[in-house]
Chain A
Amino acid sequence: MVKDPKPYFLYLENVHKAYGDKMVLDDIDLAVSKGEFCTLVGPSGCGKSTLFRLILGQERPISGSIMVGGKPVGYPNPERGIVYQKYPLYPHLSVLDNVLLGPRFSTGIFERYSRRKEMRDEAMEYLKRVGLENHKDKYPHELSGGMQQRVAIVQALIMKPKILMMDEPFGALDPSTRENLQIFTLEIWEEFKMTVFFVTHDLEEAVFLGTRVLALSQYYSDGRGNNFGRGSKIVFDVALARRVNATAVKDLPEFRGLIQQIRQDAFDPVHFQHVTRFNLKHPDSFQTLTEEERKDL
């Protein structure tokens, strides 16, 4: 059952990706509405980052269609902002210049001169928002990992992207910094009303942040037998109610239960769930399976 791609901001149908003989993504179907905070988890090597790069336009799928904002995906452009775990900032630019890079790139040479004060003030506003206005003249290597990520988020935000793509942005941070940044990310998501696509390997983070949690996994079975060496599918897709932005929810039993369930469905290398029985309760979720795949052996 194929969906109408029109109402969705992000729409993938029947997407396959392979590197040489190795199939990484096998038939990804995904429809994401505007304003959704999507988190994507999965065991290492399942192709999370590959899917990320496909949506970004950095790589092309071998088949299938990817639509962003109603148009087929192109090369990376300012519609999609990104925050990476590694290389968050440009090492040769000061904090302020890093934030100003986007506005400077997207203005002509005269405008860049005539509006320089305005642009600078705007960048400073954003830096104040993350409490780094006093660090504006420092170079990235003089900042801590958490500060660098905050600047990186601001650097992407100032371009007001329609979708913010984050690839394990907090993976290298210590737990308390990480929690602060999670809360910060939720705050700006609410404030800017944008769509977020957040890749992480941390289940707790995924469930805490997302309004929609997706799990990608190579551990499943279908009519072609148990899956060995085939690409990953989306095996888990549920909607989560947005709660208060308090880390206390992480201790609730429902929260832990959900994590347990995803762990079993996606991360357990001996637990093979059949494609027709995936937990895909999210209303936007859909599957384009072949007859052969549907067969229950």
Chain B
Amino acid sequence: MKRAAWFWGLHAEPPKWLKVVLTLLPFIILIAIYLIASHIRLLDNPDDKFLPSPTKMVESVYRMAFTEDQRTGKYLMLEDTIVSLKRLGTGLSLAAVFGLLLGLNMGLFPGMKALLLPFNIFLAIIPPLAVLPVLFIVFGVDELVKVVLVFIGTSFVIAISILRTAEKIPREQITKALTLGASQLGVVYRVALPQMMPVLINAVRLSMGAAWLFLIAAEAIASTDGLGYRIYLVRRFLAMDIIIPYVLWITFLGYAMDWILKKFVSRKYPWYQVAEV
């Protein structure tokens, strides 16, 4: 029989080494294009700021991350990261707790679902950035409003994904828990809730992109620190040598958090078997 194709077609079976190459390929192409384009522009004009050379970026990162800021005496990149992660973490954790409780109760109690689901969907559809001005008026322009924005942007979506899973808990499981002496709340919090935990973590993973979006938007508009603030600040000087490393850093942070949560789920909840997202 003919060997399966390596790359083309439905039946392709790429060998391991090829998979590694294929994974790296788009990155290599992107970097190569950047380096070439940057080189050409810099030949033309050594002061060009639009596509800074890697050396320039390393210098800038060194200045931002490893030298004290003259004005504040702090390491700016570290400071920005801590501040942003604090906001993101607080907003997302609150959204997770809220979404879990709301989704779970809607998923199991038909009365709660009738009362809250349509309203929840209504709230989930309101574009959070459109009500940002209202949030600024209500919550001021300090830390709180950024956390609130991340919370609003993610909690209803998390609630709905918990609801959908809670609804799918087989009726038999619930009936059986009752025959084992569980109270109604026992069913919700001791049978259903533990089964929701990995689902919740995966919902948080999926919401992470939205959370970053809202965080950076809030920081760009009204803030004096944070990763989003820094990017929008240095944009005024067309400081691509800072913007590009910051974007890469944010991407790395997002990837790392996603990876940690993924590992946590597979370590902590071995019974939860779904296709790896």
Contacts and interface: CB of A to CB of B under 8 A. Distances in A.
Nearest to B198: A92
B273 interface: yes
B195 A92 contact: yes
Contacts of B272: 91-92
A232 B194 CA distance: 40
A141 B180 contact: no
A139 B273 CA distance: 12
B269 A92 contact: yes
B170 A75 contact: no
A139 B195 CA distance: 13
A76 interface: yes
A101 B172 contact: no
B172 A87 contact: yes
Contacts of A93: 194
Contacts of A75: 178
Contacts of A140: 271
B176 interface: yes
A87 B179 contact: no
Contact of A84 (B172, B177, B194, B271): B172
B15 interface: no
Interface string A77-93: 11011101011001111
A155 interface: yes
B190 interface: yes
B224 interface: no
Contacts of B269: 92
Interface in B126-144: none
Contacts of A56: 175, 179
A91 B170 contact: no
Given A86-B172, A105-B186, A156 B191 contact: no
A86 B181 CA distance: 20
Nearest to A85: B172
Nearest to A100: B180
B270 interface: yes
Given A58-B171, A86-B170, A87-B170, A77 B178 contact: yes
B179 A159 contact: yes
Interface in B240-277: 269-273
Given A91-B195, A139-B271, A141-B271, A76 B178 contact: yes
Most chain-B Cβ atoms within 10 A of its Cβ — which of A81, A86, A91? A91
A84 B178 contact: no
Interface in A220-234: none
Contacts of B61: none
A141 B175 contact: no
Contacts of B182: 105
B67 interface: no
Contact of A80 (B170, B172, B179, B270): B179
B180 A87 contact: no
A180 interface: no
Most chain-B Cβ atoms within 10 A of its Cβ — which of A75, A76, A78, A140? A76
Contacts of A101: 177, 180
B202 to A, nearest CB: 15
B173 A87 contact: yes
Interface in A101-127: 101-102, 105-106
Interface string A33-57: 0000000000000000000000010
A80 B176 CA distance: 9
B179 to A, nearest CB: 5
A102 B172 contact: no
A90 B179 contact: no
Given A58-B171, A78-B181, A141-B271, A92 B194 contact: yes
Interface in A144-165: 155-156, 159, 161
A140 B176 CA distance: 16
A141 B272 CA distance: 10
A82 B178 CA distance: 10
Contact of A58 (B175, B186, B190, B273): B175
10 contacts: A58-B175, A78-B179, A82-B175, A84-B172, A86-B172, A87-B173, A92-B272, A101-B177, A102-B181, A106-B181
Interface of B: 170-173, 175-183, 186, 190-191, 194-195, 269-273
Given A56-B179, A82-B179, A102-B181, 17 more contacts: A76-B175, A81-B179, A82-B172, A86-B170, A87-B170, A90-B191, A91-B195, A92-B272, A93-B194, A101-B180, A105-B181, A105-B182, A105-B183, A141-B273, A155-B180, A156-B179, A159-B179
